[in-house]
Amino acid sequence: MKLSSCIPQKISKFTLGIILVAAALAMTVVSFTLLPVIGLVLVVPIVILAIYVFKLHLNDQCEIDFSDSEDG
């Protein structure tokens, strides 16, 4: 994959990750003020999903690569 290829896909992947992080931060603030236990339980999956989105890799066709790259 060239350095300049897949720019729109990389930008949308990054934007989705930022939106998820912002949602997690907003839910954290709400959880401390309104719903202490339920709010924090909802924040954890959002944070895990944001980390997953940031770690996604794109293949040569600019698609999400679901193959396990650690196995070779």
pLDDT tens for 7-40 read: 888 899 999 999 999 999 998 888 888 878 888 8
Residue 72's pLDDT is what?
Answer: 45
In a domain, 5, yes or no: no
Instruction: Decide: pTM greater than 0.85.
Output: no
Residue 2's pLDDT is what?
Answer: 60
d(CA 43, CA 39): 6
Which residue is associated with the tokens 């309104």? 34
**What total of structural domains would you count in the chain?**
1
In a domain, 30, yes or no: yes
**Containing structural domain, residue 46:** 16-55
Alpha carbon 66 to its chain's center: 15
- Side-chain half-sphere exposure of 17, counting CA atoms within 13 A: 12
- pLDDT category of residue 1 using cuts at 50, 70 and 90: low
